[in-house]
């Protein structure tokens, strides 16, 4: 609802269309650049170590924001992303505890298969039952949270150090985390977005009736969107395992993660009404949300105010986006 | 002649109204059936379930949940949602706790003021500035979390012990199985039920949820209706928070967090549609009771917390599915 309304205008020259389509991502990137420079100016010897810390600690939320984006672009919403993250986190932490690097990679693949299947199952229920997605995923969030408790009763488990270093890097090596983040973007999302199935996801999100009448299969499309979302949630869970070196089945973690993912996609230019946005904007938005408390700490303000600022920023972004859209609609 | 015509045109809507009332009654009856089945099952599992003490405990747990779910119902009827109810409740309880030294009346008024301010901000942003309700209330939840975290160490520091009156209101018993918080719930609940059915604002809430554009074109000041709804919701949340705080005695930042999803679930189980315009508070009351009795049952069976959550999710899904089918066939 808040991103550039590309559909409202007749097709212009490609360049202006591209600029219009990516205006939001560019704006978020600029915002991020400002925050980064600000934070860098506060920190002495700002360098690879700080970048590594940022990438490693935001990796899970970045995956989660991507998961939420895919589902929202497809016209749904997923309140169970956090619970699915916790489930993948508990599964991997339990079975990786005494495993070597090779075995833990196998565990990781199995976790991804499970979460992708659960995501597909959610998509199936949403389509078949015709219950609003927000209710279905509210219900499944309880179910996935319960399963996580079943797997791991109390915080525990573990992950081999080799796996942690492989996913997040260590010390000054910031590129492993970045590579892990880019992998699903380049290997799955880039080809998917250009494929029939990916275009169908956007079409379904823009208008499910029009998409259906143009021959889009809603069932298959929703399953694709939610399954890819589930896969990304699984990746987020694995990243959490690597980052914390264990698993934790607490429902507050799931809830905060879900809420943060929604905030990130809104800031990242994905319209909650569906069909608009991409996956890069939300990732950059996650980095912005990470930098805000850091900068406040540098300014000597209690970083707990970071939550307040985050909330205000998200609300203001939606507000301004809405006002801009209203003005454009009036002038069009 | 004209009398005949009047009679003719009157009969049709009347019949439609009757049919609609019958349909509404059927889902209410179904809910009552589910509730009774759960109560019977509980009694079979544990004979003492219908003892005064157990009934009191169940009601004690239900009242705050039903109040939160009441606010949630109002928001959902207009097609919105309020994800800040849990934090509003916590904030209200916290402020009440801190102000307890100044007497119960001042403390409660301070707590309600928190609700009023939160509701006004939410309502104006959603109604007037058209911020998406999900985002607005999510942001508000974050803002309140931050303010409380900081405040608990600075401007809100101090004893967070509830005063005797609030303790009594939240956890005390009047007579037999009737706790004090039931009285609060009954009073506010009946206002909600009657208000939604009989007052102009009540009808407006349904109308806005049903078709916002039509309402605007018909001259309804939609933003005022929405602002009123979010203010009422936050006030109900504040009352619920004070009751929860009174039950637990002291207040912390996690006080009402676990009530957020159940408050939505109770409204959904009660048949209120998240798309707006359909539902009501009677259903939500039954939904809250069902959730409370179900919770007791799973505790009696000493079901593992993990299985409990899975069952909880499945039940919400099944009930919502039944409603979706019911409304589909009705249309």
Residues with Cβ within 8 Å of residue A264, at least 6 apart in sequence: A61, A64, A65, A68, A282, A285, A286, A289
Closest of B281, B15, B65 to residue B181, by C-alpha: B65
Confidence of residue B89 (pLDDT cuts 50, 70, 90): very high
Residue ranges in chain A modelled with pLDDT below 50: 1-8
Average pLDDT, chain B: 85
* Cβ contacts of A139 on chain B, cutoff 8 Å: 265, 313-314, 316-317, 320
pLDDT on residue B176: 76
Per the CB < 8 A criterion, the answer to whether A148 and A83 are in contact is yes
For residue B324, what is the nearest residue in chain A, using CA coordinates?
A131
pLDDT on residue A121: 95
Helix (H) / strand (E) containing B191: helix B180-198
Query: What is the Cα–Cα distance from B96 to B102, expressed in whole angstroms?
Result: 10
pLDDT on residue B304: 84
pLDDT on residue A1: 44
Q: Region B250-266: what's the mean pLDDT?
A: 85
Distance from CA of B174 to the nearest CA of A (A): 35
Confidence of residue B17 (pLDDT cuts 50, 70, 90): low
What ipTM score was computed for the predicted complex, to two decimals? 0.79
pLDDT on residue B189: 94
Q: Name the more confident of B27 and B230.
A: B230
pLDDT on residue B11: 52
Query: Smallest Cβ distance to A318: which of B132, B146, B311?
Result: B132
Query: Smallest Cβ distance to B307: which of A77, A146, A255?
Result: A146
Query: What pLDDT, in 10s, does the model give residues A4-37?
Result: 444 445 555 677 777 777 788 888 999 999 999 9
Closest of B61, B54, B71 to residue B264, by C-alpha: B71
Confidence of residue B232 (pLDDT cuts 50, 70, 90): very high
pLDDT surpasses 80 at B8: no
Read off the DSSP letter of residue B220.
-
Confidence of residue B5 (pLDDT cuts 50, 70, 90): very low
Helix (H) / strand (E) containing B173: strand B173-175
Query: What pLDDT, in 10s, does the model give residues B174-224?
Result: 877 888 889 999 999 999 999 999 999 999 999 999 999 999 999 999 999
DSSP string of A304-315? THHHHHHHHHHH
* Cβ contacts of A147 on chain B, cutoff 8 Å: 306, 310
Contact A263 B139 (CB under 8 A): yes
For residue A136, what is the nearest residue in chain B, using CA coordinates?
B317
Judge whether B192 is closer than 8 Å to chain A, CB to CB.
no
pLDDT on residue B1: 39
pLDDT surpasses 60 at B330: no
Collapsing DSSP states into helix, strand and coil, what is residue A247? strand
How many residue pairs bridge chain A and chain B with CB atoms within 8 Å of each other? Answer: 148
Buried-state track A58-90, b at ≥16 Cβ within 10 A, e below 16: bbbbbbbbbbbbbbbbbbbbbbbbbbbbbbbbb
- The Cα angle at residue A298 between residues A293 and A299, in degrees rounded to 5: 95
Read off the pTM: 0.84
- The Cα angle at residue B219 between residues B213 and B222, in degrees rounded to 5: 60
Query: What is the Cα–Cα distance from B31 to B42, expressed in whole angstroms?
Result: 16
Query: What is the Cα–Cα distance from A235 to A88, expressed in whole angstroms?
Result: 8
Judge whether B261 is closer than 8 Å to chain A, CB to CB.
yes
Residue B68 has which token pair? Answer: 């939160």
C-alpha torsion sign, points B163, B188, B181, B233: negative
Contact B135 A147 (CB under 8 A): no
Query: What pLDDT, in 10s, does the model give residues B35-80?
Result: 898 888 888 888 887 888 888 888 888 999 999 999 999 999 999 9
Judge whether B266 is closer than 8 Å to chain A, CB to CB.
no
* Cβ contacts of B273 on chain A, cutoff 8 Å: 132
Confidence of residue B7 (pLDDT cuts 50, 70, 90): very low
Closest of A230, A107, A86, A244 to residue A150, by C-alpha: A86
| Helix, strand, coil % over all residues of chain A, rounded to 5 | 75, 0, 20
């Amino acid at each position: 609802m808040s991103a550039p309304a590309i559909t409202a205008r007749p097709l212009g020259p490609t360049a202006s269309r591209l600029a219009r389509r990516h205006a939001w991502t560019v704006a978020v990137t600029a915002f991020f650049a400002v925050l980064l420079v600000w934070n860098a100016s506060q920190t002495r010897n700002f360098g690879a170590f700080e970048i590594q810390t940022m990438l490693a600690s935001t990796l899970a939320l970045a995956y989660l924001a991507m998961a939420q984006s895919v589902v929202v672009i497809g016209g749904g919403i997923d309140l169970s992303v956090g619970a699915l993250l916790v489930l993948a986190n508990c599964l991997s932490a339990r079975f990786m505890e005494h495993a070597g690097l090779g075995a833990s990679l196998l565990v990781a693949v199995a976790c991804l298969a499970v979460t992708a299947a659960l995501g597909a199952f959610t998509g199936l229920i949403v389509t078949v039952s015709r219950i609003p997605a927000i209710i279905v995923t509210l219900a499944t969030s309880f179910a996935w949270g319960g399963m996580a408790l079943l797997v791991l009763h109390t915080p525990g488990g573990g992950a081999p150090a080799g796996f942690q270093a492989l996913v997040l890097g260590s010390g000054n090596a910031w590129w492993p985390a970045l590579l892990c983040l880019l992998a699903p973007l380049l290997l799955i999302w880039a080809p998917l977005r250009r494929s029939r199935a990916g275009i169908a996801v956007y079409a379904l999100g823009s208008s499910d009736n029009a998409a259906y009448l143009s021959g889009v299969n809603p069932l298959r499309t929703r399953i694709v969107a939610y399954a890819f979302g589930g896969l990304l949630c699984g990746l987020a869970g694995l990243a959490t395992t690597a980052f914390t070196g264990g698993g934790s089945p607490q429902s507050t973690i799931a809830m905060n993660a879900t809420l943060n993912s929604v905030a990130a996609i809104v800031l990242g230019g994905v319209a909650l009404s569906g069909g608009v946005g991409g996956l890069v904007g939300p990732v950059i938005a996650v980095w912005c949300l990470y930098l805000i408390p850091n900068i406040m700490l540098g300014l000597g303000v209690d970083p707990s105010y970071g939550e307040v600022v985050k909330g205000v920023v998200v609300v203001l972004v939606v507000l301004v986006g809405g006002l801009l859209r209203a003005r454009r609609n009036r002038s069009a | 002649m004209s009398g005949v015509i009047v009679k003719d045109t009157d009969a049709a809507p009347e019949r439609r109204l009757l049919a609609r009332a019958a349909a509404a009654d059927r889902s209410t009856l179904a809910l009552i059936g589910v509730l009774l089945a759960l109560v019977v099952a509980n009694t079979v599992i544990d004979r003492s379930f219908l003892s005064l003490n157990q009934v009191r405990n169940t009601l004690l747990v239900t009242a705050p949940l039903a109040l939160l779910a009441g606010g949630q119902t109002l928001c959902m009827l207009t097609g919105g949602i309020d994800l800040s109810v849990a934090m509003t409740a916590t904030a209200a309880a916290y402020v009440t706790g801190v102000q307890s030294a100044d007497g119960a009346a001042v403390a409660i008024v301070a707590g309600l003021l928190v609700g009023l301010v939160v509701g006004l901000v939410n309502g104006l942003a959603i109604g007037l500035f058209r911020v998406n309700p999900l985002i607005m209330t999510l942001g508000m939840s974050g803002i309140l979390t931050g303010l409380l975290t900081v405040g608990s160490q600075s401007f809100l520091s101090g004893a967070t012990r509830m005063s005797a009156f609030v303790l009594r209101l939240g956890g005390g018993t009047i007579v037999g199985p009737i706790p004090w918080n039931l009285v609060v719930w009954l009073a506010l609940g009946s206002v909600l039920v009657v208000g939604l059915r009989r007052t102009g604002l009540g009808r407006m809430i349904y109308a806005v949820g049903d078709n916002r554009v039509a309402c605007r074109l018909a001259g309804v000041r939609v933003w005022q209706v929405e602002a009123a709804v979010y203010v009422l919701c936050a006030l109900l949340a504040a009352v619920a928070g004070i009751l929860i705080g009174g039950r637990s005695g002291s207040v912390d930042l996690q006080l009402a967090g676990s009530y957020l999803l159940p408050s939505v679930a109770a409204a959904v189980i009660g048949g209120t549609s998240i798309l707006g315009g359909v539902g009501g508070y009677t259903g939500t009351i039954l939904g809250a009771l069902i959730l409370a009795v179900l919770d007791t049952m799973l505790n009696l069976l000493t079901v593992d917390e993990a299985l409990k959550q899975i069952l909880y999710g499945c039940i919400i899904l099944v009930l919502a599915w039944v409603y979706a089918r019911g409304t589909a066939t009705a249309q």
